[in-house]
Amino acid sequence: MADNDILAELEELQRASLAELESAQDEPGLQAWRVANMGRSAPVMQVFSRLPQFPKELRPKIGQQANQVKVALEAAFAQKSEEIRQAELARSLQSDRLDITLPGRRPVYGRYSVQTLIMREIYRVFGDMGFQVYRSPDVEEDETNFTLLNIPPHHPARDMQDTFHTTEPGVILRTHTSPGQIRAMREYAPEPIRVMLPGMCYRYEQIDARHEAQFYQVELLAVDKGITFGNLKATLDDFARRMFGSSVQTRLRPDYFPFTEPSAEMDIECFVCGGKGCVVCKNSGWLEILGCGMVHPVVLQNGGYDPREWSGFAAGLGPERVSMLRYRIDDIRNFWSSDVRFLEQF
């Protein structure tokens, strides 16, 4: 084949392809043209495959011409594609009417965790009584977490709290929020204080429906001259009525905590059965909600107060337990499951 023959063939391919492209009026027709004229089997692409058959001296010129045809077809295809897209848009705007009076789609809002809601309610209740939030660190020294709270080394009470230890000797994850008592007293002594200490606690426990390795706790501490056990009971009774209803009944049972003396646990009358006994309260008619007591003289002294002049009370409650009681949640692991179905209930 002569030089002029193949070049004329390329010119004819370009002319015929562009003329065919003009007749494409929609997207399917445009895609059909692309396959026929720019696909692997298209005539212009076959010229590249036939290059080795041409004389060596003609190959550069033929290849250059074939490439120019290919580029021209691609440019024409892009232009035609944009024209069809604009035409489709114009037809859509003419035929489809947008009713701006229709209501929009309701946006999806996030929700507060039930724990956040309960914590805020606890803050509000105790805040109304004059208690202020005091933050203490999650990582504590063994001395602050145990020894200064009247739990010296080898004390049996340490076995009640399986502790997470760090690689740094004497540094642990706090097992309760009570170390904050020492920090608050040492910061404010010798002035009266009334604080609540919220935060996360960590214990190496077997995880089940009632126990978790990490959990929230809110500590309550009041130190002043002349504070009595009656003040403690009145404060907790007021808290229970505000959290669980004005008709709720409470009781205090003797208990033991190394950092309080005397110590007690507080129960509320089961609001499911009204004190008659059911599965929730294990047929006792009562639900335990917190531990409490008068601050031990040793702890007062370690905090910088003279126990002969000052006295105080402390209480510790678990917001998860309050949530489980109020909303009848039967598995504490739900709080950490990130299950949207659980969160949406609140």
Q: What is the DSSP annotation of 201-249?
A: EE-----SSS--SEEEEEEEEEEETT--HHHHHHHHHHHHHHHH-TT--
| pLDDT (average), residues 40-56 | 78
- Interatomic CA distance for residues 5 and 302, integer angstroms: 106
The residues pairing with 30 across neighbouring beta strands, listed in sequence order, are none
Predicted local distance difference test score (pLDDT) of residue 225 = 95
- Interatomic CA distance for residues 43 and 63, integer angstroms: 14
3-state SS, one letter per residue, for 105-169:
CCCCCCCCCHHHHHHHHHHHHHHHCCCEECCCCCEEEHHHHCHHHCCCCCCHHHHHCCCCECCCC
Predicted local distance difference test score (pLDDT) of residue 265 = 94
- Interatomic CA distance for residues 316 and 218, integer angstroms: 6
Q: Would you give the DSSP letter of residue 15?
A: H
Predicted local distance difference test score (pLDDT) of residue 209 = 67
Predicted local distance difference test score (pLDDT) of residue 1 = 47
pLDDT tens-digit profile of 65-81?
Answer: 878 888 888 888 888 88
- Interatomic CA distance for residues 253 and 270, integer angstroms: 16
Predicted local distance difference test score (pLDDT) of residue 287 = 82
Q: Which residue has the tokens 């290059």?
A: 51
- Two structure tokens written together for 222: 């009041």
Arithmetic mean of pLDDT over the chain: 86
- The closest alpha carbon to 161, from 202, 124, 221, 194, belongs to 202
Q: For residues 307 and 184, is the Cβ–Cβ distance under 8 A?
A: no
| pLDDT (average), residues 270-285 | 76
- Interatomic CA distance for residues 92 and 86, integer angstroms: 10
- The closest alpha carbon to 197, from 214, 182, 179, 218, belongs to 218
Alpha-carbon distances, residue 15 vs 40, 76, 147 (angstroms):
19, 12, 95
Query: What's the distance, CA 196 to chain centroid?
Result: 24
* Parallel/antiparallel/unpaired status of strands 311-317 and 214-224: antiparallel
* pTM > 0.85: yes or no: no
Q: At residue 3, does pLDDT exceed 60?
A: no
pLDDT tens-digit profile of 109-161?
Answer: 777 888 888 999 999 999 999 999 999 999 999 999 999 999 988 877 777 66
- Interatomic CA distance for residues 229 and 231, integer angstroms: 5
Predicted local distance difference test score (pLDDT) of residue 263 = 96
Q: What is the band of 312 on the pLDDT scale with cuts at 50, 70, 90?
A: very high
Q: What b/e readout covers 119-150, taking b as 16+ CB neighbours within 10 angstroms?
A: beebbebbeeeebeebebeeebbbebbbebbb
pLDDT tens-digit profile of 218-250?
Answer: 999 999 999 999 999 999 999 999 988 888 889
| pLDDT (average), residues 77-91 | 85
Q: For the chain, give the longest Cα–Cα distance.
A: 119
End-to-end Cα spacing for the chain: 83
- Interatomic CA distance for residues 308 and 228, integer angstroms: 13
Q: At residue 93, does pLDDT exceed 80?
A: no
**Percentage of the chain surpassing pLDDT 70?**
95
**Percentage of the chain surpassing pLDDT 90?**
39
Higher pLDDT, 188 or 34: 188
Q: At residue 214, does pLDDT exceed 70?
A: yes
| pLDDT (average), residues 289-317 | 95
Q: Which residue has the tokens 């929009």?
A: 104
pLDDT tens-digit profile of 168-206?
Answer: 998 999 999 999 999 999 999 899 999 999 999 998 877
